[in-house]
Structure 1
Amino acid sequence: MDKQRDKRGKRQNRAGCCHTRPAARRIKLRSVRGTAILLISAAFVFLAYPAPGASGGLSDLRELDVVSRTEPIYFSGDTFSYNSKTGIVTGRGHIEIIQNESKLSGDTVVMNLPERRAEIEGNVAAARDREVVEGSKGVFDFEKQEGIFYGARGRSEPWYVTANQIQRQMTGEYYVDDGALTTCDLPHPHYHLQAGSVDVDPGRRVVARDLALFAGSVPIFYLPYYSQGLAPGRPPIEFEAGNQSDIGAYARLGYNLELMKEISVTPHVGAFTKSGIGAGLDGRVRLFDGDGIGRFDSFYISDTNEGNTDEQGVDKDRGKADVYYRQQITEDWTGLLQVEYLSDRNYLKTFEFDEFSEREQPETFLNIDRTGEHSVISLMMRERLVDFIQDVERRPELRLELLEQEMRNTGLFFSATNDVAYLNHEPGGPESARNFTDARASYPVRLWKMLSLVPFAEGNVTYYSDTPTDDNEFRLSWDTGLIGQTHFQKVYGSPVSRFTSLRHLVVPTVAYRFRPRPDEEPEELPQFDSIDLIDRENLLEVEVRNYLHGKRENGHISELGQYILTADMEFDDGEDKLAVLENELLIRPVTNGELALKSLNDFRDERRTDLLSAVLRYTVPDSFMASIGVIHEDTTLRPFDTQAVYSLSKAFGPLWRVGFEQRYDFAVNDFSYQEFWVWRDLHCWEALVTLRDREEATTVMILLNIKAFPMKKIVSRTAIYPLGENAPWPTRW
């Protein structure tokens, strides 16, 4: 008998229907062994697959969605029995069912075959990889694909979940009654989110009602309704507090709410002891299956601090409104809308300094373009919405570009542009309709496999409906020239052991352009952009690019440095002079260190400019960063401005980070900017305290955030990146 059983077991193993662990007791009722196995398989199918039509899995209460219907199932238990009259199979003691990386376990299981129902009780647990759901009891209906987990608690990275019950609907959606979520792994978590009810749409979004945020056992915030996608996103609440000398002690509170998968909004308020209370609404949209992506940001405050509004052009009604939206209309057509409004030039500096330091002049435009294989068509409307800047309005501008292409295998390349627009320079500047047509022909040749020459000729005609002297005017202009480029290299032995050899690559480019004086000079025409500045040119441009590469024993090549020199020489009316000189240097002598330098010198009297930015930087990723640099700016608008800039960031283990940045202005012999910060890991929370001192105000800021939801303001301040990643130049130009 034992031999027959052994043979039968081997046949089952070869067939792949089941595998039995040696330590597990087999079902003694031969007639129902296969039925029991199939039913247990069905339990796994129920846990593993959503109902027809449902999508994906969950991120916080995810189904065991990798279980395969065809993979072998291992099961074990102390005893199994079958009642042939009732069709009930009962398993007792250390019930364990395993398939791949998934496991279902409990103390007892009762399976009703006629009703296709099963109950598993006592230390019930379903696990896959690092995801675990436990409970006191589970009831499953295989026919309807519905079930309930009682006294449920679960783990799905990074969430810990507890609930009175978790119910799975036939539609594949989940209902959680009296649930709590936290990312804190302590027995008594530092925080948790308590919800009266939670609806989960697998793979899409979660909707919670009567949601309260607890710090320990103390409720600190209540949300009547909260909705968010299951992908990682922003925290439910964003909070910032501090004190700033020109607006007073302040607190900012934002409430992130996902109205649906494609639209999320953030209503937010700010209270300032000197400036009053303001409010705004931000949002993100993703429409038409991702073909339309946009965001909007707004804030309004009636500033009660007269010290902020007594400056000319600053009204007490202050704020901003920004809209950015990009729509992929078809494969070739794209629309882009940008609206940027600021009440005054000092608003961002006062209320949103972090954005002010990165923001350029406000621009508002609508652009629709089509990009084809050989052409680009664009239509633009551009408006000036703010009265404290100068801008050129385009009402509208239609531009057609024929991209450079070869003409019938002749070796001759042709390109053309036509730009027609009605332009208005605000405030109080000229306005005119303008049509600009330009055509260019070139004939590239290659000599000796290392020298490229491109002779070219270009001509353009421009029409103006209004000029300072006439109602309409035509301007004719043409130019010709030659572009040459070559490259050469040399390999040297390496003086350092980490490289087997060094390679120096040089790529020089020389371009000569001659343009006779056009029939209408720039001072005779309205000025809107570079098209109107076309004038006589007799110019030689020289660019020399140098690269130094190091080769390691494993064949990997690293760039150790680069130096780019660009010089423009003008030959004008017998007066030869160096017009523009640019330098760009990057040296990485060691793995974690670099020296970077940029300079621009324009020697022409009407455009005199001297700019220099240099920085020496040393970084150990996620541990240490130090830099020291200099900024120099000397222009007709900003004469002699020189500042030393230095900063340091240091991580003290995983719990602490500190840093500072200072700028010393040599013109006033004082610091123009200082910032000191301390970051602390508070287990599942994080805190950032910042002290910032600048000419306009002094700010003390405190940010408190849940680590599971990274906050941009904290990451941008405390992250220590490798060289070459997010390392800005210390410059304003």
Structure 2
Amino acid sequence: MKKTWFLLGQLFLSGMLLIAGENPAPFLKQPLTIRAEEITYNQETAELLASGEVSIIQSTISVRADRMIVNLESGEAAAEGNARIIEKDNQIEGERINYNFATSTGIIFQARGNITGWHFSVPVLERQSTDRYSGQKSSLSNCDEPVPHWHFSSSNLNLELNKKIEIYNSLIYLGKVPVFYLPYYYRGLGSSRLNIIVYPGYNGVDGLIVRTNTSYQFSSQLQGNLLLDYFARRGLGRGTRWDYNQPDFQATFYGYQIEEMNTGLNRWTMRSLVWQQVSADYSLRLDLNRPSDLSVNNYYFLENWQRSVVSPYSEFSLTYQKKKIYWRMLTGEYYDYDYRQQDYIRTKYLLPSFQFRALGINLSRQFYLNYNALLEKSYYNDSGHRLGLNQDINFWRSIILSRTTTLTPTLGWQNDWQWLIDQSTSTNISRHFEKINLRETFSSNLYLDLTYNFRQRFKPGLLEVAASDDDYGIEENILAGQLNYFEILAGMNFRSYLGYDWRQFRSNPVTEKWTLWRNEINWQKNSLWFYWNNQTNLYHWHNQAWQFSGGIGQREKKYIGLSVFNQGDVSWGMNLSAGIWLDRFYIDWRTTKNFSVTESDWFNWPDNQFRIYWDMHCWQSRINIVQRPDYYDFKIELSLKMPGPEQKMKVNENFYPWE
């Protein structure tokens, strides 16, 4: 029958203390808990022999093995047979372990373990102190296969549990073939202040790529990043990023530069934002964006949509914001790219701009006011200095006619005044508009909107209708209806739109008053999907344009899809697509064919895209082939899956849109 013994520090030896008259375990600074199937004690040698699922726990560390001998005078212990050390939810195994409970140090022979997704093995691993280990001739990888697909082979390894891994003089092996040398590698684990992340990879444009991101958490508010990227065919890219975050002050700065070997171009980009909460209602904001050329952001940060901004600008603003009242004072400058000079030139600056907005102001019961105003002094390269004032005011009311019927009339006025200072000329254009919306709700998922819109323009500087203009001063005069039906459980949406336009033009009289009749159906249920969109000319009763697409399966996984589209009597086309997961392979193929009314070549499909994704356990590979009539691209990318959390500050995503 299995027996379990418990030793709680010196209390377990209380009977022996009375006999020996001395403490047999003088090394103990913290109590021990021993569990085993069988325990014997030799009083002459002061050795404790435990066997059968032995576990000795001291504070946060647990030493376990099939057999263990502990010297209660020196604190030294020898463990063998399924020996392992468990510390802070991390387990390190070895063929045998020598551990000293007095000094909290030890040696693990033929050590191996898994720390935050990293698998390592070391012939001799030394525990130097709490959480700290070191060894020589180590192997480190994120691949858990018996023979890893890749690994670091290093001369020295330093490990601090839940904090960091350091290795020196490392060779990166693919299988058994060495491919790259790293003198030093650091990887942060958990919430360490310092984190160094390496992203090796390969693609058909740059060849071998090694990206590194070194981050340091200076405080709970401040974090800095150093970026060093190696591109075999382009050169060395370097950058930095700084983030500061407090409830009333947030700031970020990002800069990156590379001098390309293959083009000789010095390319760089800079992005900065600073936001300061002055009081409960007031805030300041500074926004700077500077790229060296049109495509630097698009190439180096293609996966990061916000950094694809290509035109430099800078803005500084003061904002006041309440629930319904908002105003903003802003000054800024804006640039466009000049292809003749091959550089950016400033095309506009604001000195300053003042925007005011009042939304949903309740004047009386169910009677509301919206008001927008923009006062702006600016400079344009093509027209010089100008002063402008745009105003928009409208009144609206929601009238409940019945349980299912709501009427919302809107009456508004717009004014656009511009003064070209350098030319001493001005324009003043006014408009009035009316809008009436009637909504009839037939059921919880079916309703009809009838909307009438009228907008009339007056002569510049006069309150007289611009009836002599080509459109008689009428910019909008249309009655439209839209029927909406949605069935959430059935996965279906339907919309149908038709309007009647009373507008006329002097140069081209309109005889067809009805707009195109637009219908749209979108349906998806389980593994089937269907979409239909058509625009019908009621006068000739034929489809002006239509589109159909449908498929079966799970999109971006296993699916087959077909799309057919038509542009009236001009052209039509087809798009075929398919995707399938094969174990760790994902193959996606799409091809598009446009036909003209005289097209007869069915077998030439010039627009193709072919993608392969290969999940190779700890590596991932992508092949992307794009073929179009005037464009061809072939790209191979091989990258390593890096385990462990990457250090990131928790910031407001509205302030950092690229996060």
TM-score scaled by structure 2?
A: 0.71
- The answer to which structure has the higher helix fraction is 1
Cα pair 2:119 2:144 within 8 Å, conserved = yes
**Cα distance 1:234–1:225, how it changes in 2: closer, same or farther (>3 A)?**
closer
Aligned pair in 2 of structure 1 residues 380, 237: CA closer, same or farther (>3 Å)? Answer: same
Contact 2:228 2:238 (8 Å CA) reproduced: yes
Partner SS state of residue 384, structure 1: strand
Look up the match of 2:468: none
Whether 1:258 and 2:214 are equivalent positions in the alignment is yes
**Cα deviation, residue 698, structure 1:** 3.3
Larger deviation: 557-566 or 291-300?
291-300
Q: Which residue of structure 2 lines up, in the alignment, with residue 540 of structure 1?
A: 478
Residue pair 1:141, 1:147 contacting (<8 A) in 2 also: yes
Distance apart, 1:513 and its partner CA: 3.0
- 2:489 alignment partner, SS class: strand
CA distance in 2, matches of 1:411, 1:695: 58
Distance in 2, Cα, partners of 1:286 & 1:534: 56
Deviations 1:227-270 (A, max 9, x none): 44436999723322337xxxxxx514132222325444443354
Question: Which residues in structure 2 correspond to 1:132-171 (within 5 Å)?
Answer: 132-135=91-94, 136-137=96-97, 139=99, 147-148=105-106, 150-151=108-109, 152-156=111-115, 158-163=117-122, 164-165=124-125, 167=127, 169=129
Q: What does the per-residue CA deviation read over 1:372-393, in whole Å, with 9 as the maximum and x for residues that have no partner?
A: 3223344363512422599974
| Residue aligning to 2:654 | none
Q: Residue deviations 1:597-638, cap 9 Å, x none?
A: 5678999xxxxxx8866532333367512222256679xxxx
| Matches of 1:358 and 1:618, distance apart in 2 | 34
Q: CA deviation at 1:182?
A: 1.4
> How do 1:432-451 residues align onto structure 2 when only pairs under 5 Å count?
432-451=386-405
Cα separation, partners in 2 of 1:571 and 1:253, compared to 1, 3 Å: same
Decide whether aligned partners of structure 1 residues 357 and 185 sit closer, same or farther in structure 2, where only a CA change above 3 A counts. closer
Match of 2:610 in 1: 676
CA distances 1:683-730 after superposition (whole Å, capped 9, x unpaired): 4333333333234443333222334569xxxxxxxxxxxxxxxxxxxx
CA pair 405-640 structure 1, distance change in 2 beyond 3 A: same
Deviation at 1:105, TM superposition (A): 0.6
1:208 Cα deviation after fit: 4.6
Q: Which runs of 5+ in 1 are unaligned?
A: 1-20, 45-72, 244-249, 305-315, 491-504, 523-532, 550-556, 604-609, 711-733
| Paired residues of 1:227 and 1:259 also in contact (CA < 8 A) | no
* Alpha-carbon distance between aligned partners in 2 of 1:584 and 1:204, rounded to the nearest angstrom: 59
Of residues 382, 403, 411 in structure 1, which corresponds to 2:366? 411
The count of aligned residue pairs is 586
Quick one: distance in 1 between partners of 2:554 and 2:203?
Answer: 31
What corresponds to 1:381 in structure 2?
332
Structure 1 residues 439 and 558: CA distance shift in structure 2, 3 A: same
**Equivalent residue runs for 1:154-233 within 5 Å:** 154-156=113-115, 158-163=117-122, 164-165=124-125, 167=127, 169=129, 174-178=132-136, 179-197=138-156, 206-230=165-189
**Counterpart residue number, 1:237:** 199
CA shift at 1:109, angstroms? 5.2
> TM-score under structure 1 normalisation?
0.65
Q: How does 1:461-500 map to 2 (within 5 A)?
A: 461-466=415-420, 470-489=424-443
Q: What do residues 17-54 of structure 1 show as CA deviations (whole Å, max 9, x unaligned)?
A: xxxx9433566745479x9999999588xxxxxxxxxx
The answer to whether structure 1 residue 660 and structure 2 residue 589 are counterparts is yes
Find the aligned partners of 2:461 and 2:547 in 1 and give their Cα distance: 35
Provide, for residues 89-128 of structure 1, a one-character-per-residue CA deviation record: whole Å limited to 9, x for no partner: 73432422589x9964133253768x9x664533431359
Equivalent residue of 1:437, what SS? strand
Alpha-carbon shift at residue 370 of structure 1 (Å):
5.4
Q: Quick one: distance in 1 between partners of 2:479 and 2:188?
A: 54
Letter in 2 for 1:487: T
- Return 5+ residue gaps in structure 2 as ranges: 18-22, 218-222, 463-470, 539-543, 645-659
Determine helix, strand or coil for the equivalent of 1:558: coil
Could you tell me whether the CA contact under 8 Å between 2:588 and 2:611 is conserved in 1?
Answer: yes
CA distance in 2: counterparts of 1:390 and 1:546, whole angstroms: 48
After superposition, the C-alpha distances for 1:325-350 in whole angstroms (9 at most, x for unaligned) are 575757874747463647357x899x
Any idea what SS the aligned residue of 2:3 has?
coil
Tell me if structure 2 keeps the 8 A contact 1:545–1:562.
no
- Residue in 2 that maps onto 1:287: 244
Question: Which whole-Å CA distance do the structure 2 matches of 1:398 and 1:597 have between them?
Answer: 45
Partner deviation per Cα, 1:377-415 (whole Å, 9 max, x = no partner): 443635124225999745256353434234365332222
SS in 2 for 1:373: coil
TM-superposed CA distance for 1:156, in Å, is: 4.0
- CA separation of 1:456/1:693 partners in 2, compared to 1, >3 Å: closer, same or farther? closer
Q: Secondary structure at the match of 1:440?
A: strand
**CA displacement 1:518-575 (0-9 Å, x = unmatched):** 23299xxxxxxxxxx99743433635353342xxxxxxx6242112334554323596
Distance 1:91 1:195, change over 3 A: same
1:601-612 superposed matches below 5 A: none
Counterpart among 220, 224, 228 of residue 267 in structure 1: 228
The structure 2 residue matched to 1:594, chosen from 529, 548, 551, is 529
Larger strand proportion, structure 1 or 2?
A: 2
**Aligned partner letter, 1:661:** R
Give SS of 2:435's match. Answer: strand
